[in-house]
Each structure stands twice: as C-alpha cells, then as structure tokens.
Amino acid sequence: MILLAILAGLLQTVQNPLGTPIDGPGSTLSLARRIALPNSPAMPYGLQLMARFDLLPTLRDTRCVQDSSYDRSGGNGDSGNFFARKGNVAVLADIRGPGCIYRFWSANAQGRLRIYFDGQKAPTIDCPMQDLFLGKVAPFVQPLVGHKSGGFYCYFPMAFQKHCRIEVTDPGSLYYHVQYQLFPDNQRIRTFTTTLTRPDQLALQTVLAQWNHLGSDPKPPPAGELMLSGTVAAVAGQDMQFARIDGPAVIDAIRMRVLPANRFTLRQTVFSINWDGSATPAVQAPIGDFFGSGLGDVRFAAMPDAMTDQGYVCYWPMPFSSAAAFKLHNYAPGGALEVQWQIQYHKTDAPPKGEGWFQAQWHRETTVAGHPFHILDTDGRGQYVGEHTDMQGDRGIWFLEGDEQIWVDGDTFPSIHGTGTEDFYTAGWYFDEGTFNEAYHGCVVKQEAISRVGAYRYQIQDCVPFQHHIRVNIEHGPENDYPGADYSCVAYWYQDTPGHTWSPIDPTQLTPPRLKLAGVIEAESLGWSGGSTQQMSDDTFAAQASGAKVESVAGGPAIATINSPAAGVSRVTLSMMDASDAAHTFDVSVNGGPMQKVGTTADPDVPGRLTASFGGLLASGANKLTFTVPTGGAVYLDYLQLDAAPHEKGVAEAEDYLSSVHPSAGTTVSRVDKVGSNWSGWSALQWSALRGNSSLSLPFEVHTAGSKSIQLGVIQSPLEGKTQVSIDGLPAGTFGPLPATWAGTSHRMFLGQMNLSTGEHLLTFARRIGSTIPLTLDYFAVKSGKYPFSVEAEDLKVLSADGGDASTQQLPSPDHAWSGDAQFWFVADHPNASATLQLPVAAPGKYTLVVYFTTAKDYAQVQTLVDGAPVGPVVDCYTPTVRPKGRTVLGEVTLSAGDHKITFRAAGKNAASTNYLIGVDAIGLEPVK
C-alpha cells in the first residue's frame, strides 16, 4: 500500500512519467515505457475505431489494462478499494497517456464523478456519477451507456494524450472497473472533449446504428459479396467437409440452422474451420456453443453473433490467404440430423497483411477447489476478443463471486483483475434483473432454481492484445471454492498462426451439462406405493431433471414418504416437468390430513418446468404425502424441497402453550397455521373471545430475577378494540385498536417494564367487550431490560441504511452497562449517512422520546428524526472511551397506533472524533400524563 501511495503521488503530479516499469495492477502499468513495434499498424481510436468492426483482425501493439476495486488482500472484499484516497475523494484511475478508456463500469455508481485530462486543473466531466451512466451528460448517449441487470456501464470512449485521472467524491463502498488501451509513447492522440469533431459525430452515428440493430452485420458492406449455401445430413460418427472457399478472401457471415435443435444436437454436433491448409483447426466448437449458448436453443442478439428463430449467425471478420475448409462432426449416438448453412464472403486482391486468423475454441472443466477455470491459454501474437461461458452448479449461483484475471506477455500480476463474475459480464448483483442482451455483454440464461447461468462478454475495442502469450482465467466462488461445477466456454481471439493447440475437444465431454442439485429430495427416491407411478428418463422433456430422472405419478392415491429433520410447519415445493398430458391441478394430503388442492405454475426461469407448493405440519422423521391426480393426467415430479418455518430468535411460540393456557368460560383457543406468512413458525395461538369480560391466561417461567421488558407478537384483524395485558394481576400495558395495514401479519409489541422474580408467572389478556374477531398471538418474550417504557434498539427492524452498514453489536460487560448486553450499531462512513428503524407503537398517545445512546472516540453527532421530522437537538456522541450515555430526553411526540420510523443521522462529528459511527442501546416512549 505504501508503494501504491507513492505511485499515486507521482502520477497525480505527472512527474517522471517514464519511471521504473512497475509490474502491478491498473494505473501503475502506465508508468512503463511503451515502444511501438516494427510494422505497427496505423489504427483509428475512440469512436472511429468502434465504428470499424471490420478492423478487428488487425494485430496491434496497444496494451489493455484495467483498474478496479478488487480486494488487494486476495479475499472477496471487492469494493471500496481505490488507487488512492484523500479524505472523501477516491482516485479510481490515474493513467499516463497516450491512452483511451473504452469501458467504465460500476455496480453501485454513487457520489460525484470528476474526470481530468492532460493535467488540466478543471475537470472535463463533473457530474453525479449515475448521471453519466444514464445518458444525462452529453455526449454520453444510450445505448453506449446504460444500466442492465445490476450494472452501470459506459462504452463511450475517452482518449487522452498525456494523462487521465478519475475521481469520485463520497464513493462509499464502490465497485468499479476502468478498462483502457495504452498506446505507444510516440502516438499522437486527440484528447477527449465533450464537443465531438465532425469525424467523431459521423462515427457515432455508425456506432448507434450498429447497437440499435443487433443481429445485423455491423461491418461496412464489401464490394463483390459472394455466398455459398446448402443443407447437409450430418451422419452420426462421421467427419464431413461441407464447404471450401479459395482465397485470398474474408468470411463476412456464417449462418446455420440445426433440425432438430435441442440440448443434445447443439452440443454434440461440432463445427470446425481449418485455415490455409493447417492440419489443426482454428475454430472447433459445438454449434450451440459457437453461436452463443451451450445450454440449449435460446434467443439473443449481440454485435458479433445472434440466435434467432430463423437460425444462428456470426459476423466475426475472418480473413485468410489460400483456403478455408468448413467441417461438421456429429458425435451424437443417434441418426443423422439436418444442418442448413450459408457463408457470405468477399474476395481480396492479396493475402491479408498484419491481420490475424480468427480462432474459436470450446473448453470444458469441472471446477476444482483452489484452481480457477481456464478460458484461454495460448502462445503467439494476437488479441483476445471475448468469450461466452455456461456455468452449471448444484447448490446456488454463488460461483458468480469469482474474479476474472488476465495475464499478458509474462505478467507476474494480472493486468486485468476483476471483482466478480457478473461484474466481468458488465452486470451486477448476480444479474438481479435477469437475462438481457447488449452489443458487447449479456446474460442469455439465468435459472437460479437449478443453479445455471450462461453469459457473454465480447471485448471489441477493449480487446486484449498479446505479443507472446496470454492466459485468461476466471475464479469460481470467492476464492475458487465452488468445486464440482460444470463450466464450459468458447474463447474467441485472433492470432498470427492459422491454427492453435489450445484445448482440443475431447469427444467424451460432448454431453449437455449434467443437472444434479444439492439439498433437494429426488422424487424417484421416495419409495412410492399405490396409484400408478413410474421412473422415467428426462430425455423426452424440454427441461432437464436433477439426476436425469423423473417420477411419473397418475391416478391415486399414490403415497410417498419424506423425512423431515424436525417437527413443525413446513412448506413443500414441487418441481415438475411440463408435458402435453401434465396435470395442472391435483390433490395432496399431509400425514392423512385434509386434502389440499394444488395448482401448478410455469417456472419463469426454466422453460418446460412447473412448480407448486403446499404446507403442512410435519413430524420429525417419516411423513406421508398422498397424491391424487385427475384421470387422464400425470404429474412428472423431478424433486421436492422442504422449507421449515423461520422462527423469531429469543421468543416463546404461543402455539406451544396450547395445552397449558386458561381461557375464561365461553371462549376457545386453537392453533392456526399460515405457510409463507411472516408469523414465527408459520403458526400461532388463536383466542376467540365471544363474550364480554373474557380473559386468557398463559403461564410462563422466569429463570433470572430482575427488570424485564415484555414483548408480544400479535396478529390481529383491524378495527378491534383494546386488549389489556397484565402479569400476575399487575397492569403491563394495553394495545389496540390496531391499524388496517397490520391485518393478517405479525407485529412485535413492546409493553412496559416490570420487576419479576424467578419462578412461574401468569401472563393475562383481557377484553371487556365480546368480539367476533379473535386475538391471534404469535409469540411472547420476557427480556432483561434496564430502562422503563423502552425497547431494545437492536430488536427493531432495519428499514434502511444509507451510507453505512447496520448491525447488532454485542456489548457484554460485568455490570451489564448496556441493556440486553447489545446495541444497534450503524457504521456510517460519511456525514449525513443515516439508518432508519421500524418503531411499532401499541396504543395512540403522546410520548416523551428518550434515547439511550452509546458514545466512543469514533462516534458522530446524531440527529434523531421520527417519521422524517427532527426531534430534539443534535446529540454529541464522542467520548475518548466506549461508554453508555444514559438517558437522553429529546422531546415529546404524538403517535398513532401502528408502525413509525425512527431515523438516526450523522449530522457531523466532534473535532476529536475519528469517524461517524452511531450506537443506540434502547429507545424509550414514556407516556405523557
């Protein structure tokens, strides 16, 4: 870190620009001297290069480098790490020119962005960071900038002659990439300005036309376009050449259509191209994978390729000298399949000079702990131009935590080091908005339920040139810790040889990705009895089955036995295959209970799959599920999942006291279940008070004497009267009537403080007026507390945390100085950061708001707000040591029954404080009499 700080200082002052070459990350690489190679091509740059997709084969002498927020320690903390930082200003990149930024990305763009060029004192770009990505700053226009599936991106190029520095004020925990080409030192570059030259305006029009017409050829139409086409029967087991073209020429487009097109034919039919008599193919990949998806027949359109209803197409420019041989090999065990093909090309006057041969190679691995997946590893001169990868896990998609790493020409540290797999694909947050396709990046398959992702990243103007060697890896999981996943990819690059030796295809690997999910119950393993049941292969279904088998269930009753690890209410989720005779409703009984009619829905993420769920009270161990399927239909069960009901921590479930409660005469108690609700345990105790002056008593045990706060989880319909609560006959509080927004949901009530001895006590609920609306009690808790009329701040729901992280901090001490030995803790990282908690109020009224803060050497000055309005003065929470502040009276508030918001905002800090942290032990609402 000391070395980085020194380098940052050198770069910011633009001194000694040709200092000792540094082998390290990002901007440090720009310090090295850069000499033009012999016969270096004269190439356009910026928008004018973007407009020339046809120049992609031209071998070049630039160097592609990336600055990013990757974890410098090698862990997974890939945000908030910067090239340099001073106060609240972070330096994302500090680059010695000449160069051009071609890709700028963030998953959480925030703060104010400033970009300086060539040592200028005033920034050329000065705007809220998000505004640049959203096309609000000229000349950055959509779709060259935008936001897709969790990622803000900018592909609008920014060139510079001497220097570029990118800063963000108040960046927070920013994820970012800045990717750029470094040019030889003697190259003359026109530095970016917000006013485009006429040539750049014309180039921008071309680029926009390309991006707005994906699926069409982005190259200028050549003179003398020629075409070959035909249809072949690809016979199983045979290697066949279906076309040959004599050169010199350039292949402009290749189109194919496979009949039938499914996961088997697209993976097991290999397409290859041999250039200029080379014995080894330059292109070798299954048809589906080559054109963009190895996970079946999908639809998308990118700049270089597309999969459409009319077939598949690629537009990679492919120059060659003497001959191009196009071949197919059908490795499927079945019969012939039909392949329709078309090749567009144009002749050239002479063999290509200074251009590489197009290469594309499929590669597949099962991930191994401690080792990354290898996308490409090859020797020679050329440029890497992208890939697509299909990832199949078995336990979720957290393999996406892996970073990409690219080494070029002897790097001992990767010149490109990313922050996560979906970030590499220029998205974010595990592709939180699902599939999408853009010119250079996209996610064509996201099926989280079956741990499957397919995505592409084409590096066109941000291609990665190499002069001797390149290695492209991507991690699986945070630190290569998702072993057993099935990864396959096609890497695309240009190279100065007509063939290559990277990872030739092993025919035994040419099978669709195997689906075997962890943590599910395979339907075929349930020991079925009764009805009409049969195990089936998944070959005839559109979707794949976990374990490649399904259980067909028809008629009924058909009984399956499932094992539950614990007793309680659980949700059973069924995953099934869709078919022409698939039943979309059927009946299920749990352990002989009443039949439940279950309806299926189409899985939105996995075509050809149905889902359904139902709930029931399961015993620990064996449980019986009885299925009855309508005549003429069948249920094709793949797997089942059990989800046990979540429980509130540190509470007693009211329904567990069903046998020990004492309802008054004329009233009844019962257990009610609601699967999928916010009720603790998805169950509650229901008391029907159908007459006046009724009561319900519930005995409970106290193990440690002392001051206790009483908390209830209440589910009550709206427009109900008041309910009085007492303990051992002494009033503990009143709640109700409750707001309509609370109907059917469980809410935590905070009642008064009481001193309780060890032993048994009686919690009593009383109503003076009879009601047809029952009281439904979810849970209760008797917790140690120090302060009257208070709630533990750490028990409240966090609604938002802006500018920091909110959590519970344990603060045990011999004298129990903090109530409950814990506090709500907000680690704010800048002024005006705030956290908001949900504050439920049991009864309407006027209250004195009291807050029990914590103070320390790095704590803020805090403004408290209730429902957005400030209450009381700013409170200084700085002290040299950590201590509870005690009772701080802020003022009076009038509150209705229901949910309110209490916000703690870092208004500033004491001059002696080192940060803006906030700690709250408890919050008191003392009734004003």
Q: How sure is the predictor about 772, in pLDDT bands with cuts at 50, 70 and 90? A: low
Residue 2 has pLDDT above 70, yes or no: no
Mean pLDDT of 709-731: 81
pLDDT-wise least confident of 102-106, 772-776, 866-870: 772-776
Mean pLDDT of 319-343: 93
pLDDT at 494 (0 to 100)? 98
Distance CA 99, CA 66 (A): 12
Confidence class for position 4, pLDDT limits 50, 70, 90: very low
Q: Report the C-alpha gap between 662 and 698 in whole angstroms.
A: 6
Give the residue, 114 or 73, on which the prediction is more confident. Answer: 114
CB 820 within 8 A of CB 783: yes
Structure tokens at 752: 């008064």
pLDDT in tens, 493-515: 999 999 999 999 999 999 888 89
Specify whether the CB–CB gap between 192 and 117 falls below 8 A: yes
The pLDDT, as a whole number, for residue 881 is 94
On the question of pLDDT at 535 being above 80, the answer is yes
pLDDT tens-digit map of 15-27: 333 334 344 568 8
pLDDT of residue 665: 87
pLDDT in tens, 631-652: 999 999 999 999 999 998 889 9
Nearest-angstrom CA–CA distance, 421 and 404: 7
- Contact assessment for residue 916 and residue 834, using Cβ atoms and an 8 Å cutoff: no
pTM value is 0.80
Cβ–Cβ contacts within 10 Å for residue 540, how many?
10
DSSP state of 267: H
| Confidence grade of residue 710 (pLDDT, cut at 50, 70, 90) | confident
Taking 50 as the threshold, does the pLDDT of residue 878 lie above it? Answer: yes
Which pLDDT tens digit goes with each residue over 62-111? 999 999 999 988 888 899 999 999 889 999 999 999 999 999 999 999 99
pLDDT of residue 770: 61
Percent of the chain with pLDDT over 90: 77
* pLDDT exceeds cutoff 70 at 589: yes
* Overall average pLDDT of the 572-600 stretch: 94
Query: Which strands make up the sheet holding 469-474, listed edge to edge?
Result: 373-379, 469-474, 404-408, 416-417
Handedness of CA 591, 593, 599, 603 (dihedral sign): negative
Cα distance between residue 926 and residue 929, in whole Å = 9
**What integer pLDDT is reported at residue 542 of this predicted model?**
87
pLDDT confidence bin for 790, thresholds 50/70/90:
confident
Please check the confidence at residue 177 and state whether its pLDDT lies above 70. Answer: yes
Q: Residues 382-401: what's their mean pLDDT?
A: 96
Mean pLDDT of the chain: 92
Please give the pLDDT value at position 13.
Answer: 37
The model's pLDDT over 216-243, given as tens digits with 9 standing for 90+, comes to: 999 999 999 999 999 999 988 888 999 9
User: How far is residue 582's CA from residue 6's CA, in Å, rounded to a whole number?
Assistant: 68
**Percentage of the chain modeled with pLDDT above 70:** 96
Residue 733: predicted pLDDT: 81
pLDDT at 450: 92
Question: For the residues 689-713, what does the mean pLDDT come to?
Answer: 85
Measured CA to CA, the distance from residue 892 to residue 552 in angstroms comes to 66
Of 566 and 47, the structure prediction assigns the larger pLDDT to 47
Provide the pLDDT for residue 751: 77
Contact 175, 460 (CB under 8 A): no
pLDDT at 412: 87
Give the Å distances, CA to CA, from 592 to 624, 635, 641. 7, 20, 20
291-319 pLDDT tens trace: 998 998 999 999 999 999 999 999 999 99
Range with lowest mean pLDDT among 17-21, 202-206, 555-559, 672-676? 17-21
Instruction: Show Cβ contacts of residue 522 under 8 Å, excluding neighbours closer than 6 positions.
Output: 546, 547, 549, 638, 639
pLDDT above 80 (res 737): no
